[in-house]
Chains A and B, each alone.
Chain A
């Protein structure tokens, strides 16, 4: 066997191409039978013919044998000497498979036993034509087979009208030329090489001798002719180019003439002319045309013309895949280098125009080169799809089902590597569709469907990616059954299944362990499993979608990136490190103002979500996922804003960060799912060369590769699918209203809400007051009001309540009529004087967060206004109002009960820390009304600052705050030796034990509920009393 690996590889390539092109033709032949377009049959014939030729050249015995027999059979078919039968088709399919198998391992092909296959073909041929086996059983040798000396010998090649240079059909020579070899015509009639035998050896190593003939055109043995120095002519096919050929053949230059397709055509015409002449003349007469120019008349002249046309139209080049890969790598390096250059220019900041222009040029050309090289690797999906008609046909037969395969979008192109890697997953999906999707004809008829089912491929571009949809109109996937199966297999618990949407249930089939032995039939083979399909697709950077309708069918949607190697990526920072996500996975960037966080971020089913327009997106905490522990971790509390992680050592002080007004999210999309990822900063979108992660890290699902950034550092590329899977991020169904109100309720429960009493004053204006500040609400009859010194009083339980009408103290509308009927009185909790606020009707009591607006509507006696239940509501400040009504000199303190003052005699000074303006105000007011001096701080940092500057007797500290939360502030306070003993009370809505415990641990002296003024004041005095006690000794 001719072992030249390169030539062999070329042959293998070509043959494989031929074989792959054959299948659709065979299928067409099967479909249309005798009515098939003859061109199709010709193509099949030519394919096998060229395989046969090559086999001869390379000395592949088995390949030669079977292809020879098949060629004969196909010749009969082509000549319409036999009919197309199912038997014949099956035989052809099987025989082509044998050939494919031989090609699968060429070097061992001669060891394989193909006797049966060969015999089958022979038998079929005999049976079809009733002829005795041809005497032309050929054993391929290095030389082209010796032609029959008698022109009438029955061969696959048509009979030659006259002895041409052997049976070298111009078609064969054309085929050789087309495959990239040179063909020469060599004439030895004046000089002969010495040592014929050695010479034959030599030239047979370099090429193939075709049809040696003597002066008369009779076939001769070349070696013998050379030895005996007799004139001889032959064709020679080789890869050697014209410069080398004469020397290689050791013959004078004049003896060699290159044969091109043109030459062949001319020869063909000439011989046709001479055949006509010969027909007119007597048979046996030698025509005048020089034999070197002749060739046997061929009905395949059309084939020759065909080849020429193809050759012109295609203008394609065979390129070694290794070379292509090298080019790809270099293109990648070029992009990196270009990025680096760009970085350097940016940094050097010369602002030089020519430099900028030059850089732009380089950049543009680099992009073009990269794109063009990338497109070299692009192949049409047809290449991938082409194997499936056969697969579906075979599987249909095996399962007794009727299945049609329809394909669309074969021209869509994808990177070669991706296509190669798609074969397995697609095969599995198709087999699945046949096995479990399409029902048997009987079943289908029963359900009123047509007996035949359909599998459809639809490929298209969308959103910068390639989509391949695989549809079947079979029985569809039933989420309920899948869920039941998952439960049985202990893959999920009942609770988990309960909370899953239909869509999520369908995706259970991708869980490892789902496909069990029963599911995996022998056809789907190898227990590949859907989980492997998903993994394969995701490893390419793609994703799989499922859609299904019970009884109607299923769609698997594969979404794939256009290319593997160079993608646009978003570079961002988390915890001081840079990461990249492919731009194609980025939906958008969202900034949320710190103040709005509590509204935009909720907890739903135990997962933090971001509200983005109408959707609820799970929030992925990258820092936690990757266990990054640099400096301050970004922690997103559900009710407060979060500070992005500190960038230790990079120049930005933590405090600056704390005052950042917005939080940034990157909305990441993979497949049809979205999630939000909080990031510290977004750098840029860059073209990055995706380098595969070293093998050690292949199992790390969060990363899909690595790259070198413009500054030379390595950055990891995140894999959205992997990240999401690792975190168990699930999709949240947009079952809108329900989910939303659920979320809203949750949100409100967890946030600092206040119970408010909404009431009116007999006019359209609405008012609200925090319920916790109200001791009781009474309804009284106006007649019961006593007037003392022009002030209304009401006798209640032994007390005379001074009644205050809001319209007397606030710039609000007076009720038109004097209060009639029952009126309401709000009695506040412990105020130094018995007092009550009059109102007309209670509108409602609500639990709500209060966004206090102290700007639009403001007046003494008001906290401000707020929008509650969609309406503007005034918030009267009871204590301010009371102070207005009962003006007292400042400094006299004490709540209802008198408490000892501090030794110093001054009213104690308190620091109240709370991020909510409303609560701050409230607490200040009622603490002041209880006799304390109050200073306010908005957040932990401010508080610590104030503590540094001034002396306080106690601190009232909120827990849930942005930046530093109460626990952290507490810890900080305790760290300072001068503050170690400072009484600190937590005032918060967190009531759970864990929080209390934690509070105790970090040093809180007490833990109080928000807005319980009485208790708070009591506790403060208590703590101060202790201290005072200490002071006293």
Chain B
């Protein structure tokens, strides 16, 4: 959808939640995160694409769990204490301060409750919008498609996850019956 290289065009500061999936360190804007939950029992959906780990029950609500390893084309890892990063839906995002701006700038279209299956949650960092660099070309195609940029932080490279594209990819995969 959007060819956003800079999540926040205003170049201001962003608060990013960072987390690990396999060996990758990823980051997404904090406004998109509804909550971080311990991993729940997943009910697989037989016949669904591998990008979906399955469904979980979050306080009565049914949430789709996205297998980030599959999404990124990485090998499955066995984290000791994986977590569920619950994303805000578009509706929920709009209820947040500046949510509408963010939704628009990201082209965020997420109707269903979805969560990312991650290995570990790392720290929340404050980054300068100007410091965001384009995605290095030597990265795997699949992975590149889902990133909107990278940023250096404490000698590590944070891969900025383009959640909209993740959702989009999920939709694509599920379009094939």
Contacts and interface: CB of A to CB of B under 8 A. Distances in A.
Interface of A: 333, 336-337, 577, 626-628, 691, 694-697, 699-703, 706, 708, 712-716
B177 interface: yes
A701 B46 CA distance: 12
A934 B60 CA distance: 63
B60 A700 contact: no
A722 to B, nearest CB: 10
B48 interface: yes
A695 B56 CA distance: 15
Given A333-B60, A706-B55, A714-B57, A700 B45 contact: yes
B171 A714 contact: no
Nearest to B170: A696
Contacts of B36: none
B45 A708 contact: no
Max chain A Cβ within 10 angstroms of own Cβ: one of B46, B60, B62: B46
Q: Is the interface of A mostly helix, strand, loop or mixed?
A: mixed
Interface stretch (B80-88, B92-100, B111-119, B135-143): B111-119
A143 to B, nearest CB: 39
7 contacts: A577-B43, A694-B55, A694-B62, A696-B171, A697-B174, A700-B177, A714-B54
Contact of A701 (B56, B62, B177): B177
A337 B59 CA distance: 10
A697 B170 CA distance: 10
Contacts of B48: 696-697, 700
A706 B54 CA distance: 11
Contacts of B111: 695
B90 interface: no
Contact of B47 (A333, A336, A702, A706): A702
Max chain B Cβ within 10 angstroms of own Cβ: one of A700, A701, A703, A714: A714
A699 B62 contact: no
B55 A714 contact: yes
Given A626-B47, A712-B57, A696 B177 contact: no
B52 interface: yes
Interface string B38-51: 00011111111000
A708 B56 CA distance: 9
B51 to A, nearest CB: 9
B1 interface: no
| 5 tightest Cβ-Cβ pairs between the two chains A and B | A626-B46, A714-B43, A694-B112, A696-B174, A714-B55
Contact of A713 (B41, B173, B175): B41
Nearest to B41: A713
A297 B77 CA distance: 86
B39 to A, nearest CB: 14
Contacts of B57: 708, 712-714
B171 to A, nearest CB: 6
Contacts, number: 68
Contacts of B45: 697, 700, 703, 716
Contact of A696 (B41, B43, B56, B112): B112
Max chain A Cβ within 10 angstroms of own Cβ: one of B54, B56, B62, B177: B62
B68 to A, nearest CB: 15
A714 B177 contact: no
B60 A696 contact: no
A628 B64 CA distance: 20
Contacts of A702: 47
Nearest to B167: A696
Interface in B54-76: 54-57, 60, 62, 64
Contacts of B52: 696-697
A337 B170 CA distance: 31
A708 B43 CA distance: 10
Given A706-B62, A712-B57, A716-B43, A695 B171 contact: yes
Contacts of B112: 694-696
B62 A691 contact: yes
Contacts of A696: 48, 52, 64, 112, 170-171, 173-174
A474 B42 CA distance: 54
A59 B47 CA distance: 56
Given A694-B113, A694-B114, 10 more contacts: A696-B48, A696-B52, A696-B112, A696-B170, A696-B171, A700-B45, A701-B177, A703-B45, A713-B41, A716-B46
B19 to A, nearest CB: 22
Nearest to B52: A696
Contacts of B171: 695-696
Nearest to A702: B47
A708 B58 CA distance: 10
B177 A336 contact: no
Contact of B56 (A628, A703, A714): A714
A542 to B, nearest CB: 21
Given A699-B174, A706-B55, A714 B62 contact: yes
A708 B175 contact: no
Given A694-B62, A715-B43, A699 B175 contact: yes
A713 B48 CA distance: 18
A643 B177 CA distance: 31
B14 to A, nearest CB: 28
A76 to B, nearest CB: 52
A913 to B, nearest CB: 35
A337 B57 CA distance: 13
Contact of A336 (B41, B43, B60): B60
A696 B56 CA distance: 14
A713 B42 CA distance: 8
Interface in B128-177: 170-171, 173-175, 177
B67 to A, nearest CB: 13
Given A694-B64, A696-B171, A713 B43 contact: yes
A714 B46 CA distance: 13
Nearest to B66: A696
A320 to B, nearest CB: 18
A712 B57 CA distance: 7
Contacts of B174: 696-697, 699-700
A628 B46 contact: yes
Nearest to A622: B46
